[in-house]
Amino acid sequence: MSTEPTQPGRRRVVLGAVGGLGAVGVASALTACGGSNDPTIPPEESAASSELSSNGTLDVKASDIAVGGGVIVESAKVVVTQPAKGTFKAFSAICPHQGCVVAKIVDNVITCPCHTSTFNAETGAVLGGPSPSPLAPHQLTVKGDTITLPSA
Ligand code: FES
């Protein structure tokens, strides 16, 4: 008999990793559940790709970021969101509470997995949990389908 606890809703952390250049990995957490519990339908998750430019900046494809979702650029510890169609924001992915890397962006809410602080995906403001301060904003530029993150 199994006594292992279950945590409905937390079973699947939507993370994907792509590391074409080794040091460059992007985990993505895209839109919320599509409402289907059909196990034959794959979850809405995908990995975004990023490239390290020769000048040290990171490029992320805007089309890899769902509206209301975002991607976490692991190598830069930056989370890039699209709170509204065509509007992109970037923040430090380091949670101000105890330094975990945020892990999920769903319905314009960024969540830290360690103690479930939540942040507004447009402003970085704390929505809930123990974080004492918002996620720090990070610069980005958008040109066509390319979002460029300056090196930290
Ligand atoms: S480290 Fe993020 S909530 Fe504690």
| DSSP three-state, residue 71 | strand
Does the Cβ of 95 fall within 6 Å of ligand 1? Answer: yes
Domains of the chain: 43-150 (2.102.10.10)
Q: Which atom of ligand 1 is nearest to the CA of 99?
A: 1
Does the Cβ of 113 fall within 6 Å of ligand 1? Answer: no
Task: Kindly tell me if the per-residue pLDDT of 95 is higher than 60.
Answer: yes
Does the Cβ of 133 fall within 6 Å of ligand 1? Answer: no
- Tell me: the pLDDT tens digits for 96-124? 999 999 999 999 999 999 999 999 999 99
Q: pTM for this one?
A: 0.71
Q: Which of 66, 75, 68 is nearest to 18 (CA)?
A: 75
User: Under a CB-based contact definition with an 8 Å cutoff, are residues 74 and 27 in contact?
Assistant: yes
Beta strands (DSSP E) in 11-149 are 17-18, 26-29, 50-52, 58-61, 70-73, 78-84, 87-92, 104-106, 109-111, 118-120, 126-128, 141-143, 146-149
Atom 3, ligand 1: residue with shortest CA distance = 115
Q: Which atom of ligand 1 is nearest to the CA of 129?
A: 3
Rounded Cα distance between 34 and 112, Å, is 21
Does the Cβ of 112 fall within 6 Å of ligand 1? Answer: yes
- Mutate which of 91, 95, 133 to test ligand 1's pocket (most atoms within 8 Å of Cβ)? 95
The amino acid at 124: G
- Tell me: the pLDDT tens digits for 50-68? 667 777 788 999 999 999 9
Band (pLDDT 50/70/90 cuts) for residue 35 is: very low
How distant, in Å, are the alpha carbons of 3, 13, 115, 143 from that of 29?
Answer: 30, 8, 18, 22
